[in-house]
Structure 1
Amino acid sequence: MSSRIELSELPGWANENHDIAFEAWRAVCSAIRDPVAADLCFRARSVGEIMPGDGRIFLEREFQAERVGAEGVLTGYFAPVYAARRAQDSEFSTPVRPRPSDLTLAPDGRASRSSDGAPYPDRARIEALQESAPLAWMRPEEHFFLQIQGSGVLVFEDGQRIKALYAAHNGLPFVGIANPMRERGLLARDNTSGDSIRAWLAANRGPVADELMRLNPRFVFFRLAPDDGRPPAGAAGAPLPAGRAIAIDPAFHRYGDLLWLDGEAPMLAGAFPRYRRLVTALDTGGAIKGEVRADLYIGQGDVAGVEAGRIRHTLMMWRLVPRP
């Protein structure tokens, strides 16, 4: 068994807003799969309204912490709000595609066209196909980022807001384009934030930007739903609390795990110097692979997008475990 420490020994624990962290956790802790921790969730929800300091008392009384792996990487994501159109024009030229009827799931978990397990087409081949019933039309670079984030809100020309929710993907691996842009000298090494990449793609809209985006073969399909104003739900089925939820690799963590993040040494210009906070594992993503790997959900809209796009920090993680 890994050696455990008291929560008070975690780096930065004293500066955490424990009550807010506690409230965020107990609002989503129904996602917990571990029976012992699920019982703690029930007890936390039975407490009712808390007084200042009660959150810290509960957490320190019921949990200890154990280190997870060595060093890893912290990134960020958000729920974008993008303009969309119901008809195609020269600016809004990319269709938002629904899940195709011929996209099935093969026994190995990869998306395939038929029962023989043939891989589904990559991004370039899908984009070459005419979409007969698009859900909406978007700017190419914003559609690309909607696919990376996995969901968002579309605002149409009449002001109507509709949620675009993840429906499926083509089963191919996610490949980021930040490294190729650095290697080609298109952006400075410390300036490959999400906002900088999106701005470059918009300024170079057309064949040049299309070629870069097609370096990522993964293609995401969507479904539309009314915008109820609530946060998006993660893979665990629970709404994502801004700043308090992470996407993880489910091969190493369980949904509902309570984790302490210590992210420092940012690689990108303009980033916050450090992220130390208590979060819940509620989501996953195609680029989130490994034990010490977390994607922090920042929130919805442009401000959240700017912050999320600048997060690439060295990460240390601890898992909170119920006391024996």
Structure 2
Amino acid sequence: MVHIRDLALPDFPLLLAPMEDVSDPPFRAVCKANGADLMYTEFISSEGLIRDAAKSKKKLDVFDYERPIGIQLFGSDVDTMGECARISTAAGPDLIDINYGCPVKQVACRGAGAALLRDVPKMVEMTSAVVKATHLPVTVKTRLGWDESTLNVTEVAERLQDIGIEALTVHGRTRVQMYKGDADWRLIAKIKENPRIKIPIFGNGDIDSPQKALEYKNRYGVDGVMIGRASIGYPWIFREIKHYVATGELLAPPTVEERVAMCRMHFEKSIEWKGARVGIFEMRRHYAQYFRGLEGAKQWRMRLVETDSVDEVQAILEEIAAAEPMMVG
């Protein structure tokens, strides 16, 4: 097993990445149903929590069916991050995670996320403040460095472990790379091989198939992997990886009936958590992925994104299930 303090995860756990505007409770529900071992909230602005912003507070919602679940925070002010760790702890997650990896301009240019890779002493100070503010395990997600000339994640891993973090996830790109090019896991492997490092090390970046998950497990020796974009509209990636790692055999892809059932579950959870208007609107980004590769997928998707009716969405999903369209391409 893999342990984050007293939190016991299975061997080679699969983590769901915290993705802005994606990793909300409805999405986490379908990923959990398909085998995700540890999940995180969308990242939450520490400044937003301090201002009592409704959107930030809503992201604190965690449910027992999701456990184990971590709340992820980002920010640029040390004291504010400590206070937000206390607020987040009261929401009842299993751990607190700090985002030192987000590359987007709106975050990094405000001195948060991946920007802290250019100020490791401040990163250490901020992490220490969060560790002291909560009784929960604290974990961190980061990148290889700001750019190719500052690949400092090995130093980061040692210094953050020394002040009390209990797991580290590393995305195999720099901030400058954003999400372009191939993720490079060689530095992640070096962290895992470092005799000073005792905490679990999870790898992130480009895991989009069972074969690649097992290959990277064996090649880089990580304790587990974090999956992000490959799970959007395809939560079955978790069960497929688990089966392949255990047996060496590929599972058959989900049937049309399974696709419809999982899409319906996601839709109903969305309505339940967000209300009909917002729930219908925000589900529109997921339909293309749920039905990708099915004959007539474009027509089904267009009908789904054009309706504002809960009942009509349900009726269209029933039509898709009844039609049993073939896979194409």
TM-score (norm 1): 0.25
Bigger radius of gyration: 1
**Which structure is higher in helix share?**
2
Does 1 or 2 have the higher relative contact order (CA < 8 Å, sep 6+)? Answer: 1
**Which structure is higher in strand share?**
1
